[in-house]
Amino acid sequence: MGLVLRHYPSFQCPFRSSSILSPFYLLVETTGSHDIHDKEKLEGFLVAAYEDSLASDAVLAQDEAQLRSLWALRELQAVAQAEVSRDRGIEYLPYDMSLPLEDLYTIVDDLRVRLAGRAEVLGFGHLGDGNLHLSVLGPARAEEGGRELLPDVEPYIYEATAQLGGSISAEHGLGQMKNEEIRYSKTPMAVEVMRQIKACLDPKGILNPYKVLP
């Protein structure tokens, strides 16, 4: 949140306690069949969250414009990170993984300790399905394409994810950069079954060639 508000001064923090950033922000969008009933249930949820000291502040979108504004604060997370990296010429290492809900943020805290203030480690994602987008913003690159922090981040981040019972790839898939790292999330037998399914559906290898499987 702090990065987005600094990088996009036109955006305002919607909370009363905007001078002090909270450890976490949760964005909830509901869809129901009866607006009044839906609003009552959401307000009941917020009251319970306050009473249980789970929330310190909240804001409800009153119209479509406010809804879009709240979503923009969330959607601009990754965009701001990429733009800050480009503008400052610093190292940017983004990751997309899935983790058990109780350990969703563990790896963020662990990586901050591991890098000991040498980089900014940021985490956001989808709480409902355990999808974490983790990014490392490091020092200025010594040269184009330089990766000073990479040896301290990989393979540690893949090993830690595997130990927590997660997957090194979530909504964005393995692509071409991480296909060799599939072994951290899948057994050799699972990969072989994937190969067989791929061969059945795509015997000529023309569908999304050279991607996913190592």
pLDDT at 141: 66
Each residue's pLDDT tens digit, 117-151: 899 999 999 998 999 999 999 887 655 555 789 99
Q: Respond yes or no on whether the N-terminal peptide bond of residue 14 is cis (omega within 30° of 0).
A: no
Q: For the chain, which residues make up each domain, given as ranges?
A: 1-88, 89-172, 174-214
Query: Per CATH, which fold does 89-172 belong to?
Result: Alpha-Beta Plaits (3.30.70)
Residue 145: strand, helix, or coil = coil
Dihedral, 137, 143, 145, 151 alpha carbons, nearest 10? -60
Percent of the chain with pLDDT over 90: 57
Distance CA 183, CA 190 (A): 9
Strands (E), the chain: 90-98, 120-126, 131-140
Rounded Cα distance between 123 and 134, Å, is 4
Of 67, 52, 55, 51, the C-alpha closest to 14 is 67
Cα-based torsion angle of the residue sequence 170, 156, 27, 21 in order, rounded to the nearest 10 degrees: -160
Locate 76 and state its tokens.
């601009």
Q: What is the pTM of this model?
A: 0.85
User: So what's the pLDDT on residue 117?
Assistant: 82
- Structure confidence by residue, pLDDT tens digits, 161-196: 999 999 998 888 777 778 889 899 899 999 999 999
3-state secondary structure of 134: strand
User: Quick count: other Cβ atoms within 10 Å of Cβ 121?
Assistant: 21
The tokens of 108 are what? 């963020």
Residue 20 or 89, more confident:
89
Q: Is the pLDDT of residue 202 over 70?
A: yes
When the pLDDT of each residue in the chain is averaged and rounded to a whole number, the result is 89
As given in the structure block, the two tokens for residue 32 are 């129901």
